[in-house]
Amino acid sequence: MGMPIRQSLRIGSYILRNKLLRKKKFPLLVELEPLFACNLSCAGCGKIQHPASVLKQRMPVEQAVSAIRECGAPMVSIAGGEPLMHPQIAELTEALIRMRKYVFLCTNALLLPRKIDRFAPSRYFTWVVHIDGLRERHDASVCKDGVFDQAVEAIRECRRRGFRVTTNTTFFNTDSPQTVIDVLDYLNDDLGVDQMMISPGYAYERAPDQDHFLGVRETRELFAKAFAGGNRKRWRLNHSPLFLDFLEGKAEFGCTAWAIPSYSIFGWQRPCYLMSDGYAATYRELVEETDWDAYGRGRDDRCANCMAHCGYEPTAVFATVGSLRESLRALG
């Protein structure tokens, strides 16, 4: 199961409108990073390795809104760092909702109990809570005991208050098909979240732990075995069927990182959320002055093992919209 029908129709019409206007590159979703600071030190994340002077910076609401308005993307994922550490995060979220943007606020949930009263349920708003496995595995991933239980309770409270909740789970080479099945069964059946996102870990250059990222072959084997027996169809996964095919090795796509660009306190990041080869002042500059043909598997060694959604999910979405069969499959 992919995104809600109303959202699917809007995204589909947005893509078709841009195709009719003969636009070759346009954004589907912006990874908005209004800060890099975080209250956790996860072993697989390099975001908090920036200097202290950078970690103290907070993006003004007006700057964030201007960037989203300029690029025109219909969806915004607010990440970081930990977004709930931003003093104006509720104001930023509300401003984007007033623009009728679909907003996904990513959080480790530790601050959620203290901040939740500042937010209101909306069909345009979804909490995205990071869950990297069941209790022992998740707490090891975030390098702090007790975080899993706090995140689960925060999810339950969000659900009680009528919010949409999606989870985001990153898998590493320490995972097995069974650990994938166990956490997704728990989130889907026991916790009852609205949808789940999954991703193989990408080797962040600054990440403290460089030994547990998945390669392409390992990724395909892991998901092919985890998805066997009809699991894919019963889990409420927030991905297009073609992207899940890609994770299993049943489909091959090129990277379209320009469709899920990253905007942070430094500007528009080249070429994607996961790599940093400089910054552009505007989305137009990012698109027009980046050598996109230089990136992707077989072109840049840093891309060799990447199967992340920020590069490949939009390719799958474009292929879905271009096919009646795949569109019906996605809606089903």
* Alpha-carbon dihedral sign for residues 84, 90, 92, 94: positive
Q: Identify the pLDDT of residue 9.
A: 87
Q: Identify the pLDDT of residue 2.
A: 57
CA torsion 42-43-47-48 (nearest 10°) is: 70
Mean pLDDT of the chain: 91
* DSSP assignment of 226-258: HHGGGHHHHS-B-S-HHHHHHHHTS------GG
The pLDDT confidence band at residue 82, using thresholds 50, 70 and 90, is: very high
Q: Domains of the chain (ranges plus CATH)?
A: 5-331 (3.20.20.70)
CB 198 within 8 A of CB 169: yes
| Residue 46 pLDDT exceeds 70 | no
The rounded radius of gyration (Å) of the Cα atoms in the chain is: 18
Of 56-60, 108-112, 242-246, 325-329, the one with minimum mean pLDDT is 325-329
Tens digits of per-residue pLDDT, 215-245?
A: 889 999 999 999 998 889 999 999 999 999 9
Tens digits of per-residue pLDDT, 162-202?
A: 999 999 999 988 899 999 999 999 999 999 999 999 988 77
Q: Identify the pLDDT of residue 204.
A: 53
| Residue 276 pLDDT exceeds 90 | no
Which residues neighbour 210 within 8 Å (Cβ) at sequence distance 6 or greater?
Answer: 203
| Residue 7 pLDDT exceeds 70 | yes
Backbone angles phi, psi at 68, to 5 degrees: -70, -40
Q: Identify the pLDDT of residue 14.
A: 95
- CA atoms within 13 Å, Cβ hemisphere of 105: 31
The answer to pTM > 0.75 is yes
| Residue 281 pLDDT exceeds 60 | yes
3-state secondary structure (DSSP) of residue 201 = coil
Q: Identify the pLDDT of residue 53.
A: 94
| Residue 328 pLDDT exceeds 80 | no
Which of 273, 253, 227, 233 minimizes the C-alpha distance to 318? 253
The pLDDT confidence band at residue 203, using thresholds 50, 70 and 90, is: low
3-state secondary structure (DSSP) of residue 298 = coil
| Residue 211 pLDDT exceeds 70 | no
Q: Identify the pLDDT of residue 268.
A: 98
